[in-house]
């Protein structure tokens, strides 16, 4: 026992034994200070903390600055950077092929609310089990700052152009259309965004997160309603969001009537501590009213607007076999000779 090898300092690992490095991706090529990079960090953190198996994740995106970001997290997962505005159909197809995938779709406000609005509404309507994140900066960054359809009325471009059309509220739309987990957050609110992302991972159905994510290059000036300072000043959280994962045996004490406890699909809990309004996130009408009122007041209301934990997702409606369709063996996908004979006999 002359020498003893000193044990190396224990690496911090998550519940499936992976270090946080396993959830990282390539170095970002977006602008320094871009809100999207902060969202990327929260995605990494949420997947790490939840112990998501990277091989199960399918990262999907359309076109635009936002859509580049899947390259910056979960390096070992499969990713697909598709065509502009049409990530929802690619994600849907991937899930049809393999129902066990965990699709994380990253889109932008242009990619979703303009060119992609058609596929967005049908994705929400189907309640596909997917996490759909809009990195929302109110402008087209990659083509140098034109307004998108989520830009607020009266918002001003750097060039002085004033937006004279009302914004599309993707959260109101998603709630109206049937998405079952709808939230808005801010890339600068680490705590809220992380809890909402973890809740989204635990949810069964479409989780739609509109994350206000300022564009430091084209939309962070005076007159913009998507700038860091504007959002900080006007952020009105509906509730204080905490997430308790299913694998942590923590009982949280709270005064009755002050907190809504949402049990999610995998047994995790979202605890929504009510602020002054006494907001009920399971009431569709109330959610839509809260969104309308916040627009009228010029506030950026954030938090979980709506959650429905019982509705079947689209994959469940299809009554599919348990195994991925993609890898079913020939014996299960090619009917026998007798089937062909039967069909042929009927055609004689």
Partner 1 sequence: MATTHVAVSEIEAEQGQQRIVNDLSIQVATVNGSGSQSSNLVLLRAIFQMGIPVSGKNLFPSNIAGLPTWFTIRASKHGYIARRKEIDFLVAMNPETAEEDVRSLEPGAAVVYAEQLNLNQIRNDLTFYPVPFDKLVAPVCPDAKLRKLVRNMIYVGVLARLLGVDMAEVEKAVRKQFKKKVKAAELNFNAVLAGYDYAEKNLEKADRCWLEPMDLTAGKILIDGNSAAALGCMFAGVTVVTWYPITPSSSLCETLISYMKRYRIDPETKKATFAIVQAEDELAAIGMVIGAGWAGARAMTSTAGPGISLMSEFVGLGYYAEVPGVIFDIQRVGPSTGLPTRTAQGDIISTALLSHGDTKHILLFPCSVEECYSLAIEAFDLAEEFQTPVFVMSDLDLGMNTWMSDAFPYPEKPIARGKVLTAEDLERLGGFQRYRDVDGDGIPYRTLPGTRHPAAGYFARGSGHDERAIYSERPEVYVNNMDRLRRKFETARNRVPGPVLERDHGTAVGIIAYGTSHWAIVETLDQLKREHGIEAGYCRIRGYPFNDQVADFIGRHERVYVVEQNRDAQLAGLLRLDLSDDLVKKLRRVLHYDGLPIDARSVTDSILAQEAER
Q: Does 253 bind partner 1 (CB under 8 A)?
A: no
* Minimum gap (Å) between residue 213 Cβ and partner 1: 21
Q: How far is the CB of 18 from partner 1 (least distance, A)?
A: 10
CA dist 317 to 102, 205, 265, Å? Answer: 18, 12, 16
Compute the distance between CA of residue 304 and CA of residue 326 in angstroms, rounded to an integer: 35
Quick one: which H or E segment has residue 202? helix 190-202
Which DSSP category does 115 fall into?
Answer: T
Q: Is 47 in the site for partner 1 (CB under 8 A)?
A: no
Sites for partner 1 among residues 304-323 (CB under 8 A): 318-322
d(CA 345, CA 341): 6
Q: Does 92 bind partner 1 (CB under 8 A)?
A: yes
Number of neighbours of residue 83 by Cβ within 10 angstroms: 14
Q: Pick from 291, 265, 345: which is nearest to 182 by CA? A: 291
Which is nearer to partner 1, 80 or 246 (by Cβ)?
80
Interface segment toward partner 1; rule CB under 8 A; list 48-56, 164-172, 197-205, 299-307: 48-56
Q: Are 262 and 270 in contact (CB under 8 A)?
A: yes
Query: How many CB atoms within 10 Å of residue 67?
Result: 26
Kindly tell me which of 117 and 216 has the beta carbon lying closer to partner 1.
117
Q: Determine, following the binding rule CB under 8 A, whether residue 21 of this chain makes contact with partner 1.
A: no
With CB under 8 A as the rule, give the number of residues binding partner 1.
Answer: 58
Binding residue for partner 1, selected from 13, 97, 153, 162, defined by CB under 8 A: 97
Q: Between 255 and 294, how does the x/- string for binding to partner 1 read (CB under 8 A)?
A: ----------------------------------------
Element (H, E) at 174: helix 170-177
Q: Is 326 in the site for partner 1 (CB under 8 A)?
A: yes
* Backbone torsions φ then ψ of 140, nearest 5 degrees: -90, 100
**Torsion angles phi and psi, residue 114, rounded to 5:** -110, -90
Work out whether the CA dihedral 329, 331, 332, 335 comes out positive or negative.
Answer: positive
Q: How far apart are CA 200 and CA 192, in angstroms?
A: 12
Where does this chain touch partner 1 (CB under 8 A) — which range of 80-88, 209-217, 224-232, 288-296?
80-88
> What DSSP assignment string belongs to 115-180?
TTHHHHHHHHHHT-S-EEEEEE-SEETTTT-EE-TTSPTT-B-TTSPBP-SPPP-HHHHHHHHT-S
E strand segments, 7-145: 57-61, 78-81, 102-108, 131-136, 139-140
Task: Please identify which residue in 56, 144, 221, 232 interacts with partner 1, judged by CB under 8 A.
Answer: 56
**Nearer residue to partner 1 within complex by CB, 130 or 287:** 130
Instruction: Determine, following the binding rule CB under 8 A, whether residue 330 of this chain makes contact with partner 1.
Output: yes
Nearer to partner 1, 121 or 291 (CB): 121
Q: Per-residue x/- marks for partner 1, 103-122, CB under 8 A?
A: ---------------xx--x
13 touching partner 1, by CB under 8 A: no
Report helix, strand or coil for 237.
Answer: strand
Query: Rounded distance, CA 338 to CA 267, Å?
Result: 46
Nearer to partner 1, 250 or 333 (CB): 333
Residue placing its CB nearer to partner 1 in the complex, 296 or 322: 322
Quick one: which segment of 1-9, 40-48, 165-173, 329-337 binds partner 1 (CB under 8 A)?
329-337
Residue 324 engages partner 1 in binding (rule: CB under 8 A): yes
Residue 143 binding partner 1, by CB under 8 A: no
The contact set with partner 1 (CB under 8 A) reads 53-56, 58-60, 70-71, 74-83, 86, 88-98, 100-101, 118-119, 122, 318-322, 324-328, 330, 332-335, 337, 339-340, 343-344, 347-348
């Amino acid at each position: 026992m002359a020498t003893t090898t000193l044990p190396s300092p224990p690496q911090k690992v998550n519940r499936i034994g992976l270090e946080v490095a396993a959830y990282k991706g390539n170095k970002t090529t977006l602008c320094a200070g871009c809100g999207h990079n902060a969202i990327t960090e929260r995605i990494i953190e949420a997947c790490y903390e939840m112990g998501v198996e990277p091989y199960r994740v399918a990262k999907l995106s359309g076109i635009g600055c936002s859509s580049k970001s899947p390259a910056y997290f979960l390096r070992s997962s499969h990713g697909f950077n598709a065509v502009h505005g049409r990530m929802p159909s690619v994600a849907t197809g991937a899930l049809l092929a393999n129902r066990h995938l965990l699709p994380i779709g990253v889109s932008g406000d242009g990619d979703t609310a303009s060119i992609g609005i058609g596929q967005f509404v049908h994705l929400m309507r189907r309640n596909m089990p997917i996490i759909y994140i809009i990195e929302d900066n109110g402008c087209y960054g990659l083509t140098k700052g034109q307004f998108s359809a989520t830009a607020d009325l009266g918002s001003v471009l750097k060039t002085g152009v004033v937006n004279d059309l009302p914004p599309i509220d993707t959260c109101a739309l998603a709630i109206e259309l049937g998405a079952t987990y709808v939230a808005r957050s801010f890339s600068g609110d680490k705590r809220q965004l992380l809890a909402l992302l973890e809740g989204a991972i635990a949810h069964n159905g479409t989780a739609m997160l509109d994350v206000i994510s300022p564009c430091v290059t084209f939309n962070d000036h005076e007159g913009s309603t998507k700038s860091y300072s504007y959002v900080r000043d006007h952020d009105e959280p509906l509730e204080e969001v905490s997430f308790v994962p299913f694998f942590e045996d923590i009982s949280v004490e709270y005064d009755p009537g002050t907190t809504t406890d949402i049990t999610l699909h995998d047994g995790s809990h979202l605890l929504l501590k009510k602020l002054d309004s006494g907001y009920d996130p399971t009431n569709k009408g109330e959610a839509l009213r809260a969104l309308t009122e916040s627009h009228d007041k010029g506030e950026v209301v954030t938090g979980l607007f709506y959650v429905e934990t019982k509705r079947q997702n689209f994959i469940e409606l299809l009554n599919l076999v348990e195994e991925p369709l993609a890898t079913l063996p020939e014996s299960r996908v090619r009917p026998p000779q007798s089937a062909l004979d039967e069909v042929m006999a009927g055609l004689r």
